[in-house]
Amino acid sequence: MKTFDAIVIGAGPGGYPCGIRLGQLKQKVLVIEKDSPGGVCLNWGCIPSKALISTANQFEKVKHGGTGIKVESPTIDANELQDWKEGIVKRLTGGVRSLLKMNGAELVMGTATVTSANTVEVVGADGAKETYKADKAIVVATGATTIELPTFKFDGKQIIGAKEAVSLRQIPKRLLVIGGGIIGLELGMVYQKLGSQLTVLEFLPNILNGVDPECAKIVEKRITKLGGTIHVGAKALGYERQSDGSLAVAFEKDGKRDTVVCDVVLVAVGMRPNSKGIGLEQVGVKINDKGFVPIDKLGQTNVKGIYAVGDVSGPPLLAHKATKEGEIVAEIIAGHKAAMDWVTIPGAIFTDPEIATAGLTADEAKAKGYEVLVGKFPFSVLGKAMAMNETDGFVKVIADKKTKQLLGVHIVGPEASTMISEGALALEMAAFLDDLSMTIHPHPTLGEALMEAAAHAAGHAVHILNR
């Protein structure tokens, strides 16, 4: 039996950084992966989807111009697009393998099962079994998997999940997305821009549940403007295959039954944690009723020596949260002082326009007992946004009225995903409105909108009327 200081199960955005950091801290570490290094994020999640999103946005701009550019009938080559995307995935996953090796971490491919608080059994592709021992810790970083609806079983061609949706080599003429959340809208808008007629069915009263409602409304308007249809409060019931190969999907809305005909159905109703069937229950690790593995501020489960990081440990299911957790747990295992004590985990949604958030919404702040100040600056009056011909959206800041301390930043508009980092840093440093409004931002930039929004909340904005 080979012995290591630590064993990490899963080489996704939580597991592989944990393995790398353990190696940097001179720990003998084994990382086990059953599919491909990089996890969901690198193989069919974050990176592949953003590659498609980037191309779709460029294609949309070329088609419609609007700034003096004239292009005759642009077309999209789906095969070439997929080849390019797969090349990116191959480079990045290969990079993970190299980084693990260069930092002294051993990578083993196979399916892992926790057999005790300090042993893991691995079954390789050839069926061979091997047991490994961890002297200090086992880290569970098994991630999450797309939820499948009983009435919409995946067939990999016409009923698909996100994994298949990033690999389509033919643009659907009509695409139906079940689920108006982040994944459904990001990928739905990709294919809408590449030529699909988009329909979205969302069971809840609003799309992008949990996001600032004003931000979500901007994206909803954009989808509609591009010719898409969104049904909220709609329950997908099932489908019938038509003689021409299309699918007639039945749904219920406001007590009435209706049907929409499409060529492909993308089921995007969320992710479930990969916590079952890997031996955790057998060794006493607690799993809650939603399938997540509860952890404390040190990343430890209820069983001493067994840690969990990333999606399997609970929401938000974000790659950057998983990475930070993996690094922190590695430091704890190596004997360093560390803890999951962040102020905020920023989120980015790559719809059109983008949405990015950090901290509390106004409603969340009020629920916590704050009397709030809200500052808002629209991109429609920002010079750089006009120059980019991307003026939809705004920057909104939330602050405590009494102290003027920043509580939240919410952006919908161009480059929101990049801009939110300043907001996250401000929250981590306990910044006040004056810290943002008095920091000189270069002109002309999109970042000025954050400065202006803070000034607006404080009542001294110069490029927008103060309340």
Is 411 found in the same domain as 284? no
Using alpha carbons, list the distances in angstroms from residue 82 to 41, 85, 182: 17, 5, 22
Predicted pLDDT of residue 73: 87
Residue 127 CB burial class (10 angstroms; 0-12, 13-18, ≥19): exposed
Query: Does 154 reside within a domain?
Result: no
Cα distance between residue 451 and residue 384, in whole Å: 14
Which neighbouring-strand residues pair with 405? 432
Is residue 410 in some structural domain?
A: yes
Cα separation, 73 vs 224, in Å, equals 23
- Asked whether residue 166 is domain-assigned, the answer is yes
Domain assignment present for residue 465? The answer is no
Cα-based distances in Å from 280 to 119, 301, 440: 12, 10, 52
Amino acid in position 156: G
Q: What is the tally of structural domains in the chain? A: 3
369: CB partners within 8 A, 6+ apart: none
Do 379 and 286 lie in one domain? The reply is no
Q: Is the peptide bond before 444 cis (omega within 30 degrees of 0)?
A: yes
User: Do the beta carbons of residue 437 and residue 458 sit within 8 Å?
Assistant: yes
- In tens digits, the chain (467 residues) has pLDDT values of 999 999 999 999 999 999 999 999 999 999 999 999 999 999 999 999 999 999 999 999 998 877 788 888 899 999 999 999 999 999 999 999 999 999 999 999 999 999 999 999 999 999 999 999 999 999 999 999 999 999 999 999 999 999 999 999 999 999 999 999 999 999 999 999 999 999 999 999 999 999 999 999 999 999 999 999 999 999 999 999 999 999 999 999 999 999 999 999 999 999 999 999 999 999 999 999 999 999 999 999 999 999 999 999 999 999 999 999 999 999 999 999 999 999 999 999 999 999 999 999 999 999 999 999 999 999 999 999 999 999 999 999 999 999 999 999 999 999 999 999 999 999 999 999 999 999 999 999 999 999 999 999 999 999 999 97
- What is the spatial distance between Cα 64 and Cα 304, in angstroms, rounded to a whole number? 59
Residues 252 and 165 in one domain: yes
pLDDT of residue 431: 98
Q: Does one domain contain both 245 and 128?
A: no
Residue 314, token pair as written in the block: 């609970």
Query: Given this model, what pLDDT does residue 296 score?
Result: 98
Point out the domain boundary residue: 222, 247, 269.
269
Q: What is the model's pLDDT at position 69?
A: 85
Domain closes at, from 308, 333, 358:
333
Co-location of 219 and 265 in the same domain: yes
> Is there a single domain that holds both residue 83 and residue 96?
yes
Residues 260 and 318 in one domain: no
Burial classification of residue 346, based on how many CB atoms lie within 10 Å of its CB (0-12 exposed, 13-18 middle, 19 or more buried): buried
Question: What is the per-residue pLDDT for 64?
Answer: 81
pTM for the structure as a whole: 0.95
DSSP-derived 3-state class of residue 118 = coil
Q: Which amino acid would we find at residue 467?
A: R
Residues 138 and 277 in one domain: yes
Q: Which residues 6+ apart lie within 8 Å of 440 measured at CB?
A: none
129 and 23 share a domain?
A: yes
Q: Which of 33, 40, 53 is nearest to 97 (CA)?
A: 33
In-domain check, residue 306: yes
pLDDT at residue number 68: 84
The whole-angstrom separation of Cα 51 and Cα 116 is 41
DSSP state of 414: T
Nearest CA to 299 out of 334, 274, 268, 267 is that of 334
Kindly state the DSSP code that residue 337 receives in the 8-state scheme.
-
Cβ atoms of 412 and 207 within 8 Å: the answer is no
Contacts 24+ apart (CB under 8 A), 131-135: 131/1, 132/1, 132/2, 132/3, 132/4, 132/7, 132/30, 132/108, 133/1, 133/2, 133/3, 133/4, 134/3, 134/4, 134/5, 134/6, 134/7, 134/30, 134/305, 135/3, 135/4, 135/5
Question: Which ranges in 233-318 belong to alpha helices (H)?
Answer: none
Contact of 290 with 144, CB cutoff 8 Å:
no
User: Is 405 within a domain?
Assistant: yes
129 and 26 housed in the same domain: yes
Question: 375: which residues sit within 8 A by CB, 6+ positions away?
Answer: 396, 397, 399, 433, 453, 454, 455, 456, 457, 458, 461
Catalytic residues: 443
Same domain, 33 and 142: yes
- Return the CATH number at 391: 3.30.390.30
The CATH code of the domain that includes 23 is: 3.50.50.60
Based on the domain organization, do 18 and 136 belong to the same domain? yes
Q: Is residue 326 situated within a structural domain? A: yes
Strands 174-178 and 106-109: unpaired
Look up the domain containing 357 and give its range.
347-458
Asked if residue 413 belongs to a domain, the reply is yes
Q: How crowded is the C-beta side of 26, counted as CA atoms within 13 Å?
A: 2
Q: Which residue, of 248, 269, 290, is where some domain finishes?
A: 269
